[in-house]
């Protein structure tokens, strides 16, 4: 029997008395996971933080799991191979699930290029608690932006397994929300996200 199996067989789930429902009642809003996906340079982090800012200023409990920030700690041991990308998303998914139970509106900003891994992330959350937001932006515009200079390095072969250049991005076929960040301003994009949250009854109808 493997060590991992031994661990699993000797752990028992402890049911807390402070439940997600009680936390949501205290917070006066529901918790949810907003999963922003898209190419590098598509505006995922910018939009996620802008949405969080508006929610936070209105008194909602929020937290952003940002791709670069997470790789400084939780996923600092991972590279960018397909295997490591999958493990990166697995860890983020489990973290987001914990924050969901904590009653927090959680915003994740990751390329998360593979459909299968995003599907696994969705499957971890109760129905309706995972909202996939595709930050769509044509590759050529992402390359023009190239805020971090990564596309230039990828084109020169200095970065391997770079999404959109040497590694595939599998765009969502039926996201909960698709935002063309090459056409819409940050303010317009934020409005689309918060409107969806009101429509889903995650935020009260009089929010904002």
- Cβ proximity of 106 and 32 under 8 Å: yes
Q: What is the maximum span of the chain, computed from C-alpha positions, in angstroms? A: 56
Q: Measuring CA to CA, which residue among 51, 41, 38 is closest to residue 186?
A: 51
Where do runs of H (alpha helix) occur along 40-107? 44-57, 67-70, 82-101
Residues 6+ apart with CB under 8 A from 47: 36, 109, 133, 135, 179, 181, 186, 189, 190, 193
> Active-site residue numbers?
112
Give the C-alpha separation, 34 to 193, whole Å: 9
Give the C-alpha separation, 94 to 97, whole Å: 5
Q: Measuring CA to CA, which residue among 139, 69, 80, 77 is closest to residue 107?
A: 69
Structure tokens at 103: 């009653």
Give the C-alpha separation, 163 to 148, whole Å: 14
């Amino acid at each position: 029997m493997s060590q991992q199996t031994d661990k699993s067989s000797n752990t028992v789930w402890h049911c807390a008395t402070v439940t997600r429902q009680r936390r949501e009642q205290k917070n006066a809003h529901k918790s949810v996971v907003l999963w922003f996906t898209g190419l590098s340079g598509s505006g995922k982090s910018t939009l996620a933080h802008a949405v969080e800012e508006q929610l936070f200023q209105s008194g909602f409990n929020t937290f952003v799991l940002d791709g670069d920030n997470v790789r400084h700690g939780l996923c600092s041991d991972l590279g960018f191979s397909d295997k490591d990308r999958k493990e990166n998303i697995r860890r983020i998914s489990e973290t987001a699930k914990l924050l969901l139970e904590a009653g927090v509106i959680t915003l994740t900003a990751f390329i998360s290029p593979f459909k299968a891994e995003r599907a696994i992330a969705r499957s971890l959350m109760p129905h309706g608690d995972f909202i996939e937001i595709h930050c769509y932006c044509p590759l050529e515009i992402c390359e023009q932006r190239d805020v971090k200079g990564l596309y230039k390095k990828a084109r020169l072969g200095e970065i391997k397994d770079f999404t959109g250049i040497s590694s595939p991005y599998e765009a969502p076929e039926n996201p909960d929300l698709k935002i063309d960040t090459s056409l819409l301003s940050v303010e317009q994009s934020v409005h689309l996200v918060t409107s969806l949250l009101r429509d889903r009854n995650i935020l009260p109808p009089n929010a904002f």
